[in-house]
A and B are shown apart, each in its own frame.
Chain A
Amino acid sequence: DTGVSQNPRHKITKRGQNVTFRCDPISEHNRLYWYRQTLGQGPEFLTYFQNEAQLEKSRLLSDRFSAERPKGSFSTLEIQRTEQGDSAMYLCASSSAAGGNEQFFGPGTRLTVL
């Protein structure tokens, strides 16, 4: 399968714990995006990388959130001191700079904070 993959698919945690999600983009894609989707809403942009550089961060991304893409391949999204309001689907997408804005999404990681 050459699509975007995300792990884990589901994560249940207690309030105050830290969680980390991983995204593996399509292999030839140099752009990688994180979005958050709550129930009944469309995805909301969080941040994006071109290669290893983080080029834009949404105001939704509070200080408790950090994303990395150290070698320009996979990316991690960490949430520290989770809150119940962090419960959502976290989606990763990738695209090729040569292919325009076409973004291809992974299956997402569903986070539940108890």
Chain B
Amino acid sequence: GENVEQHPSTLSVQEGDSAVIKCTYSDSASNYFPWYKQELGKGPQLIIDIRSNVGEKKDQRIAVTLNKTAKHFSLHITETQPEDSAVYFCAASYFGNEKLTFGTGTRLTIIP
């Protein structure tokens, strides 16, 4: 089955700087890669996703890149703000297999 690895497990950045979180996946059939943000006591919130037919997607301060050959994808957050502090999870799946396989999470702390 699919295995998703995520790094780093914790990340602290100064407010205004950029943050990058990286994930690798094992199943070459995977073609859908969402990112979720989870705040304490809440369920995961979908913040951006990418499908394998594109290499990059951007939404305001958040971007995701995908390298299918290397089987890795990354989340980029620019101009970080205190409200970006949370745990971020990457995940992978493929159409026809609806379950998401999640990474182990990255705790992002924005230092004011």
Cβ contact within 8 Å between B104 and A33: no
| Interface-located stretch among A11-19, A67-75, A77-85, A96-104 | A96-104
Contact (Cβ within 8 A) B44 A45: no
B46 touches A102 (CB 8 A): yes
* Nearest Cβ on chain B to A60's Cβ, whole angstroms: 11
- Interface size class for chain A? 20 to 34
The distance in angstroms between the C-alpha atoms of A40 and B49, with both chains bound, is 22
A96 to B42, CA, bound (A): 22
Nearest-neighbour CB distance to chain A for B29, whole angstroms, equals 13
For chain B residues 39-66, which have a beta carbon within 8 Å of chain A? 41-46, 49, 51
Asked whether A106 lies within 8 Å of B98 as measured between CB atoms, the reply is: no
- Chain B contributes a number of interface residues (CB within 8 A of A) equal to 25
Main secondary structure of the interface of B (DSSP, over half): strand
B100 part of interface (Cβ distance < 8 Å): yes
CA distance A35 to B4 in the complex (A): 16
Closest to B41 in A: A107
Is the beta-carbon distance between A43 and B100 smaller than 8 angstroms?
yes
Do A108 and B43 touch across chains, with their CB atoms under 8 A apart? yes
Q: Give chain B's interface residues, CB within 8 Å of chain A.
A: 4, 6, 32, 34, 36, 41-46, 49, 51, 89, 91, 93, 95, 98-105
